[in-house]
Structure 1
Amino acid sequence: MTPKPAKRFRPIDERIEALTEPLPDSERKLAELLAAQPALLATHSATELAQIAASSKAAVTRFIQRLGYESFAAARREAREAQRWGAPAFQAAPDLPAATEEAFGEHLRRDLQNLALTFERLAAGVVEPAVATLARARRIGVVGYRNSHALAQYFARQLVLLKDQVVLLPQPGQTVGEDLAGFGPDDMLVILAFRRRVPIVAEIARHARKAGIPVLVLNDAATPPKEVDATWRIACETRGSAQFDSYAAAMSVLNLLVSALARLPEIQAGNRLREAERLHEVFEEL
């Protein structure tokens, strides 16, 4: 299964809400602070939290233990794992009004940084064989759950313009096992595996590799490589300017892949894109 926060993980805001006894004033201030900004537990020390809440380090220690943690270090490890896993409440956000030029600039800066870091790591040794395999694959399955589903849907729709046998998995009303039953080494899977993944994503990748099916995985840069098995892997920076991940870099990589595919002679010879455009005119669809 895909590693994720421990099964006993319980968000700190839920722990605070579950408290029944009255809190001393020094701990009440900490409760109010961490309930409103749980990400601070991942990014600040006990001393820093005490300063922000106008409390004391001793009060931080007492409060953390009152919440059921063994220590502040244990609480911080759990918060950082939730942050790595992509829990929105644990993503640090700049203290900026949402609709200002300064906030717009920070958002743009983050997306540009994500694009730059992603493409700095992108290697021709990954892109070229992956695109070549897309070109010769008998059938292509594109897999994506949760936030990754929108990316998978986009990529599948672009591939349909170039290839005959492209399917978005799982199909509505179907199980993924039914959809994958006929896939083999002559086919290919593209798996969008961005955080926070459902466990079946890693199982699909593992099955495909055992069956000899080539697998291209796109995931977030925070995910350790071994979490989702792959023939080729492209890691995309997804850290957003606030609580939610940004997929600007991922979309750009998908666009790059389909553009590279469209330029291959064997794809151009297939003439599928031109035929699709001709049919648009026939049906007056656009």
Structure 2
Amino acid sequence: MNGSTAIKRSKGFKPIDERIEALTEALPDSERKLAELLAAQPALLATHSATELAEIAGSSKAAVTRFIQRLGYDGFATARREAREAQRWGAPAFQVATDLSATSDDAFGEHLRRDLQNLALTFEKLAAGVVEPAVATLARARRVGVVGYRNSHALAQYFARQLVLLKDHVALLPQAGQTVGEDLAGFGADDMLVILAFRRRVPIVAQIARLAKKAGIPVLVLTDAATPAKDVDANWRIACETSGSGRFDSYAAAMSVLNLLVSALAQRPEVLAGNRLRAAERLHEGLDEL
């Protein structure tokens, strides 16, 4: 890692559980205990010192040092740095999780507290100078493409379906079985691209954003707060807090922001004049769909 915050997996990264599985030699009992502990809870490597790990495992600090070197690390500091990098990158196995297995008020309360905190922090940083021009451009856009991969795909799908109620020519990209290059062909300054870029991203997301901006296509990016702005270039960027109470990221704040965007869009004169929402309702009634 260099001086900047590492958010994506560095080249040569190999999770500690894979390193443990790759061991072929028999381990002394003191190191075997550490292997079992870290294979089950790799996040401890990012949050605990060598002395603390030894105490939890019922081993010794010297055994921790030997075991870490046996796994191929230069030393404990290197192993810990890699584990923390994996945390920032969003690897679920390296997240520190609250025990939610017990259906207790404490567990539910912590889960709710974290989501409320994410919402509060996200909206504290949300600027009208970003939302208003982004929504205005959405309203005027001839075509809108919504891009999202992995976990972001579900968010992109939700947003695209809401946009369909308000605008013509909205597409979730890439279309099934197709490539983004084909779908974006013909997009220009009169169109718009909305990219959902939450961790952990595939490399093509940043490439799409960069090429779209180069082609003069307005780009709005929604991403997690841990991702530096330079990682995904855009005209407008909205960062959402996604820290979950368990091993997985929470998208409560992201969904709320998406709802805000479509709600604001629905009030735009260009959208109201189109009356697409009412037309869809009439079709629902005529088809007896709902």
Paired position in structure 1 for 2:12: 8
Per-residue CA distance 1:27-74 (angstroms, 9 max, x = gap): 111111101100011111212212211222221111100000111111
Once the two structures are superposed, the pairs formed by residues 179-194 of structure 1 within 5 Å of their partners are: 179-194=183-198
1:265 alignment partner, one of 256, 264, 269:
269
Q: Secondary structure at the match of 2:239?
A: strand
Indicate the percent of aligned positions where both proteins have the same amino acid: 85
Paired position in structure 1 for 2:163: 159
Displacement, 1:95? 3.5
Please give the alpha-carbon distance, in whole angstroms, between the structure 1 residues aligned to 2:97 and 2:264.
36
2:140 alignment partner, one of 130, 136, 139:
136
Normalising to structure 1: TM-score of the pair? 0.97
Normalising to structure 2: TM-score of the pair? 0.95
Please give the alpha-carbon distance, in whole angstroms, between the structure 2 residues aligned to 1:120 and 1:15.
42
Paired position in structure 2 for 1:276: 280
1:79 alignment partner, one of 83, 86, 98:
83
Q: Which amino acid aligns with 2:147?
A: V
Once the two structures are superposed, the pairs formed by residues 104-123 of structure 1 within 5 Å of their partners are: 104-123=108-127
Alignment of 1:32 onto 2:36:
yes
- Which deviates more from structure 2 when the two are superposed, residues 187-196 or residues 72-81? 72-81
Please give the alpha-carbon distance, in whole angstroms, between the structure 2 residues aligned to 1:265 and 1:59.
69
Displacement, 1:7? 2.5
Paired position in structure 2 for 1:198: 202
Q: Which amino acid aligns with 2:112?
A: L
**Unaligned stretches of 5+ residues in structure 2:** 1-5
1:170 alignment partner, one of 174, 179, 188:
174
1:46 alignment partner, one of 45, 50, 59:
50
- Which deviates more from structure 2 when the two are superposed, residues 215-224 or residues 88-97? 88-97
Whether the aligned pair in 1 keeps the contact of 2:42 and 2:94 (CA below 8 Å) is yes
Please give the alpha-carbon distance, in whole angstroms, between the structure 2 residues aligned to 1:257 and 1:96.
32
Count residues with an aligned counterpart.
285
Alignment of 1:239 onto 2:259:
no
Alignment of 1:20 onto 2:24:
yes
Per-residue CA distance 1:4-37 (angstroms, 9 max, x = gap): 2122111111111111212122211111110110
Displacement, 1:98? 4.2
Whether the aligned pair in 1 keeps the contact of 2:162 and 2:262 (CA below 8 Å) is yes
Displacement, 1:101? 2.5
Indicate how the Cα distance of structure 1 residues 252 and 70 shifts in structure 2: closer, same or farther if over 3 A, else same. same
Q: Which amino acid aligns with 2:133?
A: P
Whether the aligned pair in 2 keeps the contact of 1:3 and 1:227 (CA below 8 Å) is no
Please give the alpha-carbon distance, in whole angstroms, between the structure 2 residues aligned to 1:94 and 1:48.
19
Alignment of 1:62 onto 2:66:
yes
Paired position in structure 1 for 2:3: none
- Which deviates more from structure 2 when the two are superposed, residues 10-19 or residues 125-134? 10-19
- Which deviates more from structure 2 when the two are superposed, residues 92-101 or residues 231-240? 92-101
The runs of at least 4 consecutive aligned structure 1 residues that moved more than 3 Å come to: none
**Unaligned stretches of 5+ residues in structure 1:** none
Q: Secondary structure at the match of 1:244?
A: coil
Whether the aligned pair in 1 keeps the contact of 2:7 and 2:89 (CA below 8 Å) is no
